[in-house]
Structure formats: structure tokens, C-alpha cells
Structure 1
Amino acid sequence: MAVPALARQDADDPAPVEAAPSPRSWGRAFADIRAAIAQRELWGHLGWQDIKQRYRRSVIGPLWITISMAVTAAALGGLYSQLFGQPIGTFMPYVTVGFMIWYFISACVLEGTETFIANEGLIRFLPAPLMIYVFRTVWRQILFFAHNVVVYVIVLAIFFRQLDQPYTMVNNNPDAIVHPGLSWWALLAIPAFVLIVVNGLWVTLLFGIISARFRDIPPVVGSFMQLFFTMTPIIWTTDLLTGGAPGSAKAIIEFLAKLNPFYHFIEIFRAPLVGQVQSWTHWAVAGGITVVGWTLALVALRNYRSRVAYWV
């Protein structure tokens, strides 16, 4: 029986081959994030191991984190309260909380630039989502931050009366209350810290990808972070800059201070914990930075996720 020509042609033709999905796709980028979240036991364990490894054979172990933070806050808080003529009862908690959140932010930035470089061996030989190393880095910093919270609790117990007592601004406007005292508004520090953690994730992801490609980025970022530490109100207050300035100069100084992105993130966390007024402008700026930062980080993850293994 003769086979129809059409049937013979179909039998001779090879089976159609489906095109492989492009490595640059939003689906793969979001799948990487979902897979990393699902494997939270892995990066959670790795984060704990990082701390244990750092303090291996130490007598008191991670308590050195708390001791180091306490010594720094006590020394600089006591020194600068005398230099600036500030009451130590309110200035010491101000400096302590400032150091707490600055250590977390700066560590996310600095260690974020090294997150993929430091995990070179795992990235090359372990088929795991790229975001696992981002979560590992940020989780490690959260554990460090938890140790530093103990210092704030101690400082709060010592200076609670000074923090809880309201006072008014004496310069120019004595009726403007800048320190209403501690209240339930202090709980706003919880969502503020969550927002800072969310930003720490995109910073670690974006800077990690860029640094894997360009190895000059980590030392450059380290230099800029030292500059930002000096320019950010951690051991000084913004009213010290504008105290003796005329009206026009005061407005310019305040505007320049608001251009510092770290200032807004520190204030949304610190202000409620030290009994100060929390400006919603800081929340708006921090929210805008979050949206822009995650947009850039997701674009980088989509386009260069598959290349990181070759770059490291």
C-alpha cells in the first residue's frame, strides 16, 4: 500500500525542538527569589554558622558584639555630650541607637559588595538560587543587630526618666516640642527596621552583582561609607549645624542634610526610640528609595543572574 506523500514528509522531518527559555527573563529572576525564600533553613543555618565561625574558640563568643557596641556608645556618647554641651541623659541613648542602626546599614552595604565574591566556592559548585547568599548576608547582620539591642535596653533602663520627660526647643521657637517623650509610638521602630531590612536586601543584591563584575567597587564603597558616617547625624544632631546660622543659611543646611539618604533611614528608626518627634517626610523618602532600589536590583538580577558564576 502506498504511503501518502504528506505522511512520508512528516516522517522524514525531525521533531520540532522547543527553544530554551532565555536566561534573561523575569520569570527566572522571580523564581530565584521564591526558591531562596523556600530554602530559608539553608541560609538561616549558614548565617548562624558565620557567627559561630567568627567567634570560634572565644570564651564569651558573640557577646563580644554587645561589649564592643557598649564600649563605643559609652565612650563617644560621653565625650561628645560634653563637647557639644548636650545632656547626657538624652544624648547617650541618641548616640547608642544611631550606632545600632548605622552598624546594620553599613554592614549590609560593605559586606553586600563581597557577598558573591566571598561565596565563590558555593556559587560555582552548588546549584542553589543566587538570592540565598543575599539572604545569608542580611540574616547575619540581623543577628548582629539583635546582640546590639541589649545595649539599648541597658541604656534605656539607666536614662529612662530623662527620655520620658518632654522638653521644648529653646532656640527661636520655645513652643515647638521636639521631644514629646517615650510613648507607644516607639513601636514604630519595628516597621522602620523591617523597611531597613528590605532595603538591605536590594543593596546587597545590587552591589553584590556590580562588585562581582568590577572588583574596584568594594574599596570605593568602603571609602564613601567612611565619608557618609561623618556626614550622617549619628554622633551629632542636625540642630547643632543650624543653631547659629541665619534663616537663609539654615534652610540651605537643612536641605543638604536631607539629601543624605542614610539620614532618613536612621531617623525613622531612632526618633521613636529616644522620644523624639518622627517626621513622616523621612518615611516618604525611605519608601521612594525602596521602590527605586528594588527596581534596579531586580533589573540586575534579571539580566546578570546567570553571569555571576563566571564573574566570581
Structure 2
Amino acid sequence: MAVTVDEDTAGRARPVIADAPGSRSWARAFGDLREGWRQRALWGHLGWQDIKQRYRRSVLGPLWISISMGVIALGLGVLYSLLFQVDIATFLPHVAVGLLIWNFISGCILEGSEVFIANEGLIKFLPAPLSLHIYRLVWRQTLFFLHNLVIWAVLVIVFPHPLSWTLVLAVPGFALLAVNGGWISILSGILATRFRDIPPIIASVVQLAFYMTPIVWSVDILSGNPAVQERARLVEINPLYHFLEIVRAPLLGQHIAWFSWAVVGVITVLGWAVGLLCMRNYRARVAYWV
């Protein structure tokens, strides 16, 4: 990319950013992803340091991740189980596991919208692929999720429920979440770097999506009410519901509908197609936008 000077209609000089020859190519977009993956030792260390830095000089350290999440899950689970008059032994694990997964999804979306802005210094002065910051973000959110799995283990002990071989499906389900976190961070990160109004808009949409997704409420509760039984099927329109189900259902010993796998698979392919297109066209401009 080169910066030239042009004159506007009033004769005033203005900078014009021109793409260098070959900067917009699929080879460079895929090469950026490959080079970022090769540097996994670096972004793996940086992701872990992000967590340690957040809880620096804390007695419990990263355990606060699980403690804070556990308190929120307990409070919401007890409150809504009383409001909906459902068994807390069933509803509390539903809310807690839903919050664990939602924290990962929302973390990738919200932090993804500022991933390049927050790393302005590194992007300008460190010759590294842009994907390194994406891998670092997804890895950091994965560490948060693994820390919070302690809450699920405690709930399994306190409220025992039958688990089957379907529990292993939570692994590929979470892998799909991480893969989708990559293209979401790329797309929202590049858009937010160019248009700084994007992050607050994304934050508002994510907050609204939280209440529209069955996390602190259950589809079974709506299905049991004849007045809204037909409307309960509208939840399947929400793609976030399917991302929740491919991980939450096996963790709770429930069956995953094949439709959820299909929706997640289609969104993964389409999402990465759009993300790679964005990388191809605007990867070289991010350093000038931050």
C-alpha cells in the first residue's frame, strides 16, 4: 500500500491511500492465516499473560473467573427458577452452562470488534500477521471457558444427571464455536477499525441477543404453555440458539438435533467465506486505519 497526495476541487492537498500491487490476493490472505498459526507459541503465551495480567496481585488469581461466573449463574438460576416455577435441579444447570457458552460467544464478538484497535501499537511496530491477534483472542476466550468448566463439574456433583457417550460431542461442538469466533473477530475487527461507530452498535446488539436467546429461560417452558406453544418454535430462527445447543445439550446429557449441526455448519462456511473476502480486500489497510 502506498500513500500519495492528490488535490481536491478546491485545490487543497489530501492524502490518498493506494493498494500496493498484489496486496489484494487470496494467497496473501491465506498466507496471513498460516503464518499466524505458525506463531502459536507467541499468541499462546500472550493469551495466557492476558489472564495473569488481569488478576495480577490477586490472592485467588484466575480462580476469580470461575467465582464471579458461579455467583452470577447461581443468582440468575435461583431467581428465574422461582419466577417460572420450575425445578432448580434442572433449571440451574441449564442457566449456568448457557452462561458459560454465552460468555465465550459474546467475548469473541465484543472483543473481536476492538481486536485491532486494542493492538494498535503491536500492529504498527511489530511485523506480525494480523491473524496472530485473532488467534490470541480466541485462545484467551478458550482459557476463560476452560476455567469456567469447573462450575459445570460442581453442578454435575450437586445435581447429578445421567450422562452418556454424547458428552464427547461437546468437544467438536466447542471446536466449531472457536472456528466461528475466528471469522467473527476478523469481520467485526476490520469493520470496527474502519468505522469506529461499530463497537457500540455491536455491544447493543449483543445485549439484545442475550435476552432473545434461551439462556435464562428455556424452550421447554414455552412449549409447555399452550398459549405460546407455537411461538416457541420461532427460537429456531435465532442462530445463536443452535450454537448454544451443540455444546450445552451434550454437557447436560441431552440429545442434539441434527438441525442445529446443519445450521452451525452452514453459518461456519458462509461466515469464513465473508471473513476471508474481507481479509483479502482490506488486510493491508488495517495498519493505516488503527
TM-score using structure 2 length: 0.91
For residues 112-261 of structure 1, what are the structure 2 equivalents within 5 Å?
112-160=112-160, 163-164=161-162, 182-245=163-226, 250-254=229-233, 256-261=234-239
Tell me the distance in 1 between the aligned counterparts of 2:60 and 2:51: 12
* CA deviations over 1:181-225 (Å, ceiling 9, x no partner): x21111111110000000001101111011100000000000011
1:292 is matched with which residue?
270
Tell me the equivalent position of 2:279.
301
Q: Does the 8 Å contact 1:90/1:274 carry over to 2?
A: no
CA distance in 2 between counterparts of 1:21 and 1:30 reads 17
For 1:202, the aligned partner's letter is W
Distance, in Å, in 1 between the alignment partners of 2:279 and 2:94 is: 37
Match of 1:276, SS state, is coil
Matched residue of 1:233: which SS?
A: coil
Q: Name the count of aligned residue pairs.
A: 271
* Residue 109 (structure 2) aligns with: 109
CA distance in 1, matches of 2:193, 2:78: 41
What's the CA shift string for 1:159-184, capped at 9, x where partnerless? 11xx22xxxxxxxxxxxxxxxxx211
Cα shift at 1:261: 1.1
- Runs of 4+ aligned residues of structure 1 deviating over 4 Å after TM superposition are none
| Residue in 1 that maps onto 2:55 | 55
Code of the aligned partner of 1:91: F
1:263-282 alignment runs, 5 A limit: 263-282=241-260
User: What amino acid does structure 2 have at the position aligned with 1:223?
Assistant: S
1:277 positional shift: 2.5
- 2:166–2:255 CA contact under 8 A, matched in 1: no
1:206/1:297 contact within 8 Å kept: yes
Gaps of 5+ in 1: 1-19, 165-181
- The verdict on how the C-alpha distance between 1:230 and 1:300 changes in structure 2, with shifts beyond 3 A counting, is same
- In 1, distance between residues paired with 2:255 and 2:96? 18
C-alpha separation in 2, matches of 1:21 and 1:125? 22
Q: Which has the larger radius of gyration?
A: 1
Structure 2 portions without partners, runs of 5+? 1-19
Spell out the pairing of 1:79-94 with structure 2 (5 A cutoff): 79-94=79-94
| 1:66 aligned residue | 66
Q: In structure 1, how many angstroms separate the alpha carbons of the residues matched to 2:91 and 2:220?
A: 13
SS at match of 2:207: helix
Distance in 2 between residues matched to 1:209 and 1:63, nearest whole Å: 33
Check whether the contact 2:97–2:152 (CA below 8 A) recurs between aligned residues: yes
User: Aligned partners of 1:251 and 1:305: how far apart in 2?
Assistant: 45
Percent identical pairs in the alignment equals 59
Deviation of 1:243 after TM superposition, in Å, equals 2.8
TM-score (norm 1): 0.84
Helix, strand or coil at the partner of 1:206: helix
